[in-house]
Amino acid sequence: MTRDRPIPTEPGILAFHKHCEEFYPADAVDASIGQQRAWYDALCAEFDAQSPEGLTRQDEAVGGRIPVRRYRPIDITTRTRIFYIHGGGFVIGSLQSHDAICAEIAHAAKAELVSIDYRLAPEHVWPAAFDDCFEVLLWLLADGRPLVVAGDSAGGNLAAGMALKARAKALGGIVGQALIYPGLGGDLASGSYLEMAEAPGLTTADVAYYRDVLKAPPENVFAHPLKAPDLSGLPSAYITSAHFDPLRDDAAVYAQRLIAAGVNVSYRDEPQMIHAWLRARHMSEGARDGFMHLCRGISDLVGTL
């Protein structure tokens, strides 16, 4: 018995998905790593967007080896910074792949944002990406300014892991976490991993592939935040998921567990969205609305400190 493929009905997101597959085919994970990255770079370039007026960028290297990009909007109103960690299954993605997204978030939140170009698998398996992100996190926290950690997909996983490790190390300074359709280590044989196993944009088989490439220990709570036994004392969160996404329940369950642990959480499931809908924000009504709520949620986390 075959399961019908779950498909949204919003024309904008369907057009977005069709256009994506012209650049990044559904079976991309079967290609070489180099080919996957070339396809993804072309896809990201296709969905590039005009930079907000007055926003500046500055590229640096933390510790002389980890590339970061600093975004400064023209009208910064807070000392709090945003640390943004890009998605891409730990295999693809770069400073450039999420450049326009980072610029628009910084502009909307009126806050400085720093993004990272962490090492990618399979050349660099766990914990290389996590270690890079944590080194940049320490660098950002060193001057005492408040910080919001944020990321999408694999970046959402890393952002959640940063918050957990910072708590374990008794580090202060993280005032919020924004997790955008994050993969948090849920059971691949239950819930949305079954219901949305063949969803457009990301399948459960794709998730299994990325986990296998990363080679993170299955019981490591920093790699699989849903396995953390205690979520109390973590920073306030804005969490958003896509309904047509096998990762949906990771976000929903994590939000529920954070709330139960006494953490302040805002959670939204975007009803017509698929994985990676951030990139559809200029062609899909639902993605535009979701991005507006995301920027508002991050702005609330940033505050005016």
Catalytic residues: 153, 245, 275
Alpha-helical (H) ranges within 47-90 are: none
Any residues with CB less than 8 A from the CB of 65 and at least 6 apart, and which? none
Buried b (16+ CB within 10 A) or exposed e, 75-88: eeebebbbbbbbbb
Measured CA to CA, the distance from residue 262 to residue 242 in angstroms comes to 24
Measured CA to CA, the distance from residue 215 to residue 210 in angstroms comes to 9
Q: Is 67 exposed, middle or buried (0-12, 13-18, 19+ CB in 10 A)?
A: middle
At 267 the three-state DSSP class reads: strand
Measured CA to CA, the distance from residue 16 to residue 274 in angstroms comes to 10
Residues forming a β-bridge with 67:
61
Residues forming a β-bridge with 113:
71, 82
Which run of H or E residues covers position 195? Answer: helix 192-195
Amino acid found at 265: V
Any residues with CB less than 8 A from the CB of 112 and at least 6 apart, and which? 70, 71, 72, 73, 76, 81, 82, 106
Cα torsion 104, 225, 158, 39: sign:
negative
